[in-house]
Structure 1
Amino acid sequence: MTNKNVTLMRGEPEIAVKKLAIPIMISMILTALYNIIDGIWVAGLGPTAIAGIGFVTPIFMVLNGASVGLGNGATSSISRFIGAKNHEMANKSTEHSLFIFLISSVILTVIFLIIQKPLLASYGANGQTLNEAISYATPLFLGLIAFMFSNGCSGILRGEGDMKRAMYVVIATVILNAILDPLFIYTLGLGSAGASLATIVSSAISAVIMLYWILIKKDTYVNINLKKFKFDTNLTKDILKVGIPSSLDMLIMAIAMSIFLIMISKVGGDYGIAIFTSGQRLYLFAIMPLTAIGSAVIAVSGSAFGAKNGDYLSRTHKYGAKFGLVLGTVLTLILVLFANQLATLFAYTPETANLVPGIVSYLQIACLSLIATGIGMPSNFFYQGIGKGIYSLMFTILREIIFVVPLIFLFVYIFNLDLIGIWIALFIGRATASILSYIFARYEIKRQIKTFEN
C-alpha cells in the first residue's frame, strides 16, 4: 500500500495532487468539525461563553498551528528524500520529526500555561468572560502533546503519500468528539472546559493510533528504529527550515487575530466579538478544503523538487491553483447564498438571535476573499514543499497584517464603517496578498527550473 503511495507521488502530478488532496480534504473538514461542534454546543451556555471561547481562538491557532507547521516540515523533508529515492534519509527524517514533536509540545505547554491569564486579559477578556476563556483554554494547553503528535504524525504519513488511513482515524475521532461534547459540557457539568476536554481526548486517540502504525505495526514506507536514534543537526535544520516558518504562519495569523479582536472589541464590544468568532469558525471551516489542496501540493512538489523535475514542479503548482480556484469559488457561493441559515447554527437561542444579522454580514463580505485564496493557498504551501518556508511566512505577514490592518484603520476610522469596515478590510487585504503569492510562485518555479538545468 505504501509503495503504491510513493509511486503515486512520483507519477503524474495532477493525478497525485487530486488523489492526495481528497482524503486530506475529508480529514481536515472533519477536523474542523471539532471547532464547529464545540461552537454549537457551547452556544447553549450563552453569549459570555461564546465570547470567552472567542478570546481563546488566536491562542488555539498558535497551538494547533505549531503542530500543523512542524508536521508540514516533516512532510516536506520526507517527500524530498522520497523524490530523491533516498529511503534511509526518509527514515531518519521521520525519527527526527518525532523527537521535534515531543520537545516542542513540552516547551509550548509550559509557556502557555504560564501566560494564559495575562494574555487573555490583554485581548480585552475580563470578569466572567475571562473565567470562561481560562476554563476552555487550560485543558487545551495541558493536552498540547495530543495535538502535536496527531497533526505531526499526519504530516509524516502525508510525506509518503499515505492519506487514507489518517482520514479513517479522523472520521472515528470526530464521531467520538461529537459524543463527548454534550457528555462533558452538560451531563458532567464541565461547561466550557468540557468542550476543550472532548477535543483533547479525541486528538489523543488519533495520535495513539498513528504512532502504533509507525512505531509498532511498522507498515509504513518509512521504517524507523528509535533505539538507534542519533541526533543529526543538519537533518533537524532541514525539517525546521519549513516547520518553523510554517508554525510562524499560524503565529502571525494568531497575532493578526489578536489585533482584530482588540479592534472589534473597541468597535462592537462582546457583541462584535461573538459575531466575528462565529463567522470566523465558518470561514476557517471553508479554508480547510483549500488547505487540503495545499497539503497535497507540499508532498507532490517536494517529491518533484527532490527529483529535480521542473516540469512536474510547475504542473503541480498550476493544477493545485486551478483546483483551489474552482473550489474557493464554490465555497464562497455557499457561504454567501446560505449565510442566514449558517448563521443560525451559532445563534439558535433567544439570547443569541440578535447575532444573526451581524454574522450574515461577515459571511457575505469577508468570505469573498476565498476565491483568491483558492490560488494563494496552494502557492503558500508550494514554497514549503520546495523547502522555502520563509516565503510562505512572508506572504502570510502580507496577507494578515501588512495589508489588512492598515485597511481596517482606513475603513473604520476614516470612513467610519465600524464592523462593516473591518469585514471589507479582511476581504481586500487577503485577496490581494493571495494573488501576489500566486504570481511570485510562478516566478520561483521558473527560477528553480533554471537551477535544475544548470
Structure 2
Amino acid sequence: MEWHEMQDAKYHQMTETPIPGLIARLAVPTICSMLITSIYNMADTYFVSQLGTDASAAVGVIFSLMALIQAVGFTFGIGSSTCVSRLLGQRKQQAACESLSTAFFTSIAFGALMLVFGLLFLEELVSALGATPEILPYARDYARYILIGAPYMTANFVLNTSLRGQGSAFYAMFGIMSGGILNIILDPIFIFSFGMGIRGAAIATVLSQLVSFGILLYFNLGERHGSLPLRLKNYRFRFSLYRDIVKGGLPSLCRQGIASIASVALVRSCAPFGVEAISAMSIVNRVMLFIVSAMIGFGQGFQPVCGFNYGARRYDRVVESFWFCVKVSALLLTTLGAVMFLIAPQVLALFREGDARVISIGAAALRMQCAMLPAQSYFIMSNMMLQCTGRSAPATLLAAGRQGLFFLPVICILPHFIGLPGVLLSQPISDVCCVLLAVLLSRRFLRELKLLDADQREEQARWGEVEG
C-alpha cells in the first residue's frame, strides 16, 4: 500500500471506527508503555534505595531535574502532536510533516543547552533543587549523567508523541518498552555487579533512553511504516509554526515545569522533618506515578482520536470519546486506589524494609493520595481534551492548577501550622481544588462542542435539501 493510501485509510479509521474499540486499540499500547516506564522508575528507586536512605532521597531530589527535561520534551512533543493530529484530520499532510520536523530538531537544541549549562553549574543546580549536605554527593553523581542524556531524552518525547498523534501507538510502545525493560536489566548490573552505586543507576537510565531514541527515530524516518517522514528539509524557522507548537505544548510546559518546582518545594518542606521524610515522599511519588500511568496511557489513546475528529469537524465523536474515557478511567483508578490504600505499608516496606519512620510517613501520604485518585480521571481527561482541540488558555490554566496554583501555596504554608501532616495533606487538598476548576472549564467547552455539532448537522441537512 502506498503512503498516501495508508494516510487515507488511517483518516477513515480515526473518524469512522466506533469510539470504544478505537480508543481501546490505541490505548492498550500506550498503557503498556506507561506502565513499563513507571515500573523502571520504581525499579530505579528500589535498587538505589538499597544503597541507603541518603541515596534514595537523592533520587527524589533529581526527580525535579528529570521533570524539567520532560517539560521541554513534552512542550515540543505534545505541542507538535496536537498540531499533527488536527492537521491530519484536515488532510494537510505536508503541514503536519513540517510541524513534526521543526519540533524534533528544536527539542534537541534545547536539550543540548540544558546539558551545557547544567554541567557548568552542576553544584549550584543540585543545591537549588533542594539537596542537603548529606544528599549532595549522591545527587551530584546522579544529575551529571542525566544531563548528558538530555538532548536525546527531550527528543524522545517528540518521537513518542508523534507516533501516538498519528495513531501509530504500537510503534511508540515498542520504542518506549524496549528502553524501559533494558533499564530494569541494567540497573542491578551497573549498581551492584560493577560497583558503580548511584552513578550506575543514572548511566543505566541514559543508555536505555538512547536505545529508545534509536528505535523511535527508525519508526519516524520510514514512510514504509505509514508515519510522517521526519526530515531536516521539512524544518521551518517560522513564527506562525512555532506559535502553534508552543501554544499546543504550553499546558505541558506548565504542568511539567511547575511539577519540577513543586518537587523542589516538596523536598524543602520535608527537610525540617529529616531525610526519612524526603525518602518517603520520593517513594510515594514514584508509586503514585505508577498508579496514574495506566490512566494517563488510556488518555493518550483518547488524544489522537480527539484531535483527529476535532480537525475533521466530528464534534459528536469528541464529546463521546471524552465521556467514555472519564468513566473507564474513574473505574480503573477507584480499583487501583482501593488496593493501594489497603496495602500501603507493605508497598513502602518493599523499598525501605526495616526503616519504620520512612514506612510510617510514606504509608500515610500514599493513603491520603489514593483517596483522591478517582477524581483525577475527570481533570486529566478535561486537560487532554482542551489541549488537543487547541484551547490553550483553559488547558494551561488547568495544567498549572494541580501542582502550581493550588499545591505550591498549600505546601509552603500548611506545614508551618500543623507540621508534617501539612506536607502529607497538601496534594489531596490541591486535587480537590483542581477537580472543581476542571468542572468549571470543561462544561463550558462541552456546551460549545454540542452547539458546533448542531450547527454542522443543520448545514448538512440544508446541503441535502439543495442536492435533493
* TM-score when normalising by structure 2: 0.90
Counterpart in 1 of 2:415?
412
Question: Cα distance, 1:141 vs. partner?
Answer: 0.8
Whether the aligned pair in 2 keeps the contact of 1:116 and 1:134 (CA below 8 Å) is yes
Change (3 A) 1:444 1:112: farther
Pairwise mapping of residues 88-99 of structure 1 onto structure 2 (< 5 A)? 88-99=94-105
Counterpart in 1 of 2:464?
none
Whether the aligned pair in 1 keeps the contact of 2:15 and 2:314 (CA below 8 Å) is no
Change (3 A) 1:144 1:225: closer
Counterpart in 2 of 1:238?
244
Unaligned runs of 5+ in 2: 457-468
Report the Cα distance in structure 1 between the residues aligned to 2:254 and 2:404, rounded to whole angstroms. 13
Q: Amino acid of the residue matched to residue 117 of structure 1?
A: E
Within the candidate set 376, 379, 383, 2:382 is matched to: 379
Structure 1 runs, 4 residues or longer, greater than 6 Å off: none
Change (3 A) 1:250 1:229: closer
Q: How many residues align?
A: 449
With 144-153 and 439-448 compared, the bigger mean Cα shift is at: 439-448
Counterpart in 1 of 2:290?
285
Change (3 A) 1:135 1:71: same
Change (3 A) 1:224 1:202: closer
Report the Cα distance in structure 2 between the residues aligned to 1:89 and 1:328, rounded to whole angstroms. 38
Whether the aligned pair in 2 keeps the contact of 1:63 and 1:144 (CA below 8 Å) is yes
Whether the aligned pair in 2 keeps the contact of 1:43 and 1:346 (CA below 8 Å) is yes
1:298 aligns with 2:303: yes
* 2:126 counterpart SS class: helix
Report the Cα distance in structure 2 between the residues aligned to 1:435 and 1:296, rounded to whole angstroms. 25
Counterpart in 1 of 2:109?
103
Pairwise mapping of residues 197-346 of structure 1 onto structure 2 (< 5 A)? 197-216=203-222, 218-227=224-233, 229-266=235-272, 268-346=273-351
Whether the aligned pair in 2 keeps the contact of 1:294 and 1:382 (CA below 8 Å) is no
Whether the aligned pair in 1 keeps the contact of 2:98 and 2:234 (CA below 8 Å) is no
1:370 aligns with 2:373: yes
Change (3 A) 1:397 1:429: same
Q: Amino acid of the residue matched to residue 166 of structure 1?
A: A
**Over aligned residues, Cα RMSD in angstroms?**
2.2
Q: Amino acid of the residue matched to residue 193 of structure 1?
A: R
Report the Cα distance in structure 1 between the residues aligned to 2:320 and 2:120, rounded to whole angstroms. 47
- The structure that has the greater radius of gyration is 2
* Structure 1 residues 373-414: Cα deviation after superposition (integer angstroms, max 9, x where no partner): 111111111111012233232123222233234444664333
Report the Cα distance in structure 1 between the residues aligned to 2:156 and 2:410, rounded to whole angstroms. 37
Question: Cα distance, 1:448 vs. partner?
Answer: 4.3
* TM-score when normalising by structure 1: 0.92
Whether the aligned pair in 2 keeps the contact of 1:213 and 1:220 (CA below 8 Å) is no
Aligned-pair identity in percent equals 25
Counterpart in 2 of 1:170?
176
Whether the aligned pair in 1 keeps the contact of 2:67 and 2:257 (CA below 8 Å) is yes
Counterpart in 1 of 2:393?
390
Report the Cα distance in structure 2 between the residues aligned to 1:192 and 1:198, rounded to whole angstroms. 10
Counterpart in 1 of 2:49?
43
